[in-house]
Amino acid sequence: MAEVFQAKTEGVEGFERVVAVKRVLPWVSSDAELIRMFIDEAKIAVQLTHPNIAQVIDLGRVGEDYFIAMEYVHGRDLRATFERARRRRETLPIPMSCYVMMRVCEGWTTRTSAGTRRARASTSCTATSRRRTSCSRSAAR
C-alpha cells in the first residue's frame, strides 16, 4: 500500500531534521477506500505517544501522492532481519524474539487503550528504505 523513505526536512537558518516519509504507492492513489484508510492511520497515530510508536509529524499530499512524515527511528529494519534469517533457514534467537514481541505489545497496548478499533501490530514504521530524498515543508504541502 505504501513505501517508506528516509528524508530530510529543511527549515530556516540551516535547521534540518531526518524523518521517515511513508508515501502511498501510485496504483493506490485512485482507490478512495485505501486513501481513507491511510488518512485514518495518520489521524489515529498522531494521537498516540509512546516510545515504541513513531511520532507522526505531518500528513500531506503533493499532486495525487499522499504521504505521512514521521519520526525517523534509527536502527535495523525488522522485516529485513526476518527475511535474512528465513533465507539462511535460521530462526531468530528466542531472547531476541521475546524482546521484539514485548516491545510491539507495549506499543499495541498504547494503541488499543486510545480506543482505536483498528489496532494491529505493524513493522512498517521501522522499515525505512536506504533511498534518500530531501523535501522542504513548503514543497510537502
> What digits encode the pLDDT tens for the residues 37-79?
999 999 998 988 888 888 999 999 999 899 999 999 988 888 8
Q: How confident is the model at residue 106 (pLDDT cuts 50, 70, 90)?
A: confident
> At residue 66, what is the residue type?
Y
What the block records as the C-alpha cell of 35 is 486513501
Look up the CATH architecture of domain 2-140: 2-Layer Sandwich (3.30)
First to last CA, the chain: 21
Render pLDDT for 69-85 as a digit per residue (tens, 0 to 9): 999 998 888 888 889 99
What does pTM read for this prediction?
0.66
* Helices and strands (H and E) in the chain: how many: 4, 5
